[in-house]
Chain A
């Protein structure tokens, strides 16, 4: 397909890897310790594993898989809230498919569905609105999940519901926002990251300006990247060039999709519909100030949190589960005692084993054998 095949070319990949090797040789720091590059976005984690990119890179480069997989950072208490809404009589609960298997403290949405709750997988929030149109006697709830990439589509759906006066539709809003999350990572005391591969799809919405503080204040390079193997390799090469030149800038490798200013129509919809929460709870990372959004008071009637009384409990992750340490890059997935034994993609105990963007599932599926052998 156009704009995909060109970015998977083997010869170009080989040339890039040579360039990367040459650059690494010119960076003195790399002789003492590995260069840590974090890819923030779960989509990149997925590409890196799918194409075996880690194995192609010189051993001086270590990729740290960031927390940018929205399903993976969803706390158990939130899943319990979903189940509580879904099990109310008269409710149709709609969700993206990848949230179905995230474990709650008692059950996942998948198990709740097997127990009889009316839970439907949708491809788009617009599909959820369509279900509401067709079932006026039922309450239809959409599980709004994801970073700025999906935030505008949920907002536009709420605005559409308002225009049509659809009263039986609401959103359980769990959207999260990237900048406070990056700040929390940059402020964390065990931070061990030299540079970032920036999220491509989030950036096509918010643009590149919101990341400036990473370069100006924290002096870390970031390259906003596409998702094909050549995109990721070129971004790593650009990051290394910055490190070698002693620069810290926000660069854009994915200009074919990401305009520097982002998408203003999407930004307007986000601004109109949401406001920041004081804090939001993340699985494994704890509470991060201003990292989540909720619907503004003007849209309260579309807010499932207000429409239904929710248990809203904080539930601790199981003690043996090490998702938090993996998310922060403190340990590698296979160092969790549950990895591959009690916790597998078929029976995930932790959220990182659920989605193909989660680093545990990615290691389990694509082996990461070389990395394991190297660490042993």
Chain B
């Protein structure tokens, strides 16, 4: 989809309009209000991935613990 978007809020002297081309931005009622910070997005996803891995590990430990328990009894 193509639409005209007002970018007054995301440009400044050190971030001129040309530097926006190709950026992902958050648009609200026709105004770009934020440039998506790729580093922060990656950081958040990294935390989520690590959580997932930690869960998988806990699960694996729990399973092996029950097996050990069974072998001993």
Binding site for B on A (CB under 8 A): 2-3, 6-7, 9, 11-12, 14-16, 18-19, 96, 123-127, 149-150, 152-153, 156, 201, 204-205, 230, 234, 253, 255-259, 263-266, 269
Q: Which 6 A-B pairs have the closest CB atoms?
A: A124-B30, A256-B41, A255-B40, A15-B52, A15-B55, A256-B40
- Compute how far the CA of A208 lies from the CA of B4 in the bound complex, rounded to whole angstroms: 29
Question: Are A152 and B55 interface neighbours, CB within 8 A?
Answer: no
Closest CB-CB distance, B3 to chain A, in whole Å?
Answer: 8
Closest CB-CB distance, A321 to chain B, in whole Å?
Answer: 29
Determine which of A150, A258, A259 lies in contact with B28 in the assembled complex, contact meaning CB atoms within 8 Å. A150
Considering only residues 19-53 of chain B, those with a C-beta below 8 Å from chain A are: 24, 26, 28-31, 33-34, 36-38, 40-41, 43-45, 47-49, 51-52
| Cβ-closest chain A residue relative to B50 | A15
- Compute how far the CA of A123 lies from the CA of B54 in the bound complex, rounded to whole angstroms: 44
Contact of B64 with A by CB under 8 A? no
Contact of B9 with A by CB under 8 A? yes
Q: A3-B41, A6-B45 are in contact. Are A19 and B24 (CB under 8 A)?
A: no
Chain B contributes a number of interface residues (CB within 8 A of A) equal to 32
* 6 A–B contacts, CB within 8 A, in A order: A6-B41, A12-B49, A18-B55, A156-B8, A204-B26, A266-B9
Q: Which residues of chain B are within 8 angstroms of A9 by Cβ–Cβ distance? A: 48
Question: Are B52 and A11 interface neighbours, CB within 8 A?
Answer: yes
- Compute how far the CA of A3 lies from the CA of B37 in the bound complex, rounded to whole angstroms: 10
Closest CB-CB distance, B31 to chain A, in whole Å?
Answer: 4
Question: Are B33 and A255 interface neighbours, CB within 8 A?
Answer: no
Closest CB-CB distance, A114 to chain B, in whole Å?
Answer: 25
| Additional 8 contacts, C-beta under 8 A, given A7-B45, A152-B33, A153-B6 | A11-B52, A15-B51, A15-B54, A15-B55, A153-B29, A230-B48, A257-B37, A265-B8
| Cβ-closest chain B residue relative to A200 | B26
Q: A12-B48, A153-B6, A234-B48 are in contact. Are A259 and B37 (CB under 8 A)?
A: yes
Closest CB-CB distance, A128 to chain B, in whole Å?
Answer: 10
- Compute how far the CA of A263 lies from the CA of B28 in the bound complex, rounded to whole angstroms: 13
Q: Which residues of chain B are within 8 angstroms of A253 by Cβ–Cβ distance? A: 44
| Cβ-closest chain A residue relative to B35 | A257
| Cβ-closest chain A residue relative to B11 | A265
- Compute how far the CA of A14 lies from the CA of B6 in the bound complex, rounded to whole angstroms: 39
Q: Which residues of chain B are within 8 angstroms of A12 by Cβ–Cβ distance? A: 48-49, 51-52
Determine which of A6, A124, A257, A264 lies in contact with B29 in the assembled complex, contact meaning CB atoms within 8 Å. A124
Determine which of B30, B38, B45, B58 lies in contact with A125 in the assembled complex, contact meaning CB atoms within 8 Å. B30
Q: Which residues of chain A are within 8 angstroms of B37 by Cβ–Cβ distance? A: 255-257, 259
- Compute how far the CA of A17 lies from the CA of B34 in the bound complex, rounded to whole angstroms: 29
Contact of B73 with A by CB under 8 A? no
Q: A153-B6, A256-B36 are in contact. Are A16 and B26 (CB under 8 A)?
A: no
Question: Are A127 and B30 interface neighbours, CB within 8 A?
Answer: yes
Question: Are B44 and A234 interface neighbours, CB within 8 A?
Answer: yes
Q: Which residues of chain A are within 8 angstroms of B56 by Cβ–Cβ distance? A: 15
Q: A256-B40, A257-B34, A263-B34 are in contact. Are A153 and B28 (CB under 8 A)?
A: yes
Question: Are B48 and A205 interface neighbours, CB within 8 A?
Answer: no
- Compute how far the CA of A35 lies from the CA of B59 in the bound complex, rounded to whole angstroms: 26
- Compute how far the CA of A282 lies from the CA of B9 in the bound complex, rounded to whole angstroms: 29
Q: A257-B26, A257-B37 are in contact. Are A265 and B12 (CB under 8 A)?
A: yes
Q: Which residues of chain B are within 8 angstroms of A127 by Cβ–Cβ distance? A: 30
| Cβ-closest chain B residue relative to A205 | B33
Q: A204-B34, A256-B37, A263-B34 are in contact. Are A96 and B29 (CB under 8 A)?
A: yes
Question: Are B43 and A255 interface neighbours, CB within 8 A?
Answer: yes
| Cβ-closest chain A residue relative to B12 | A265
Question: Are A125 and B29 interface neighbours, CB within 8 A?
Answer: yes
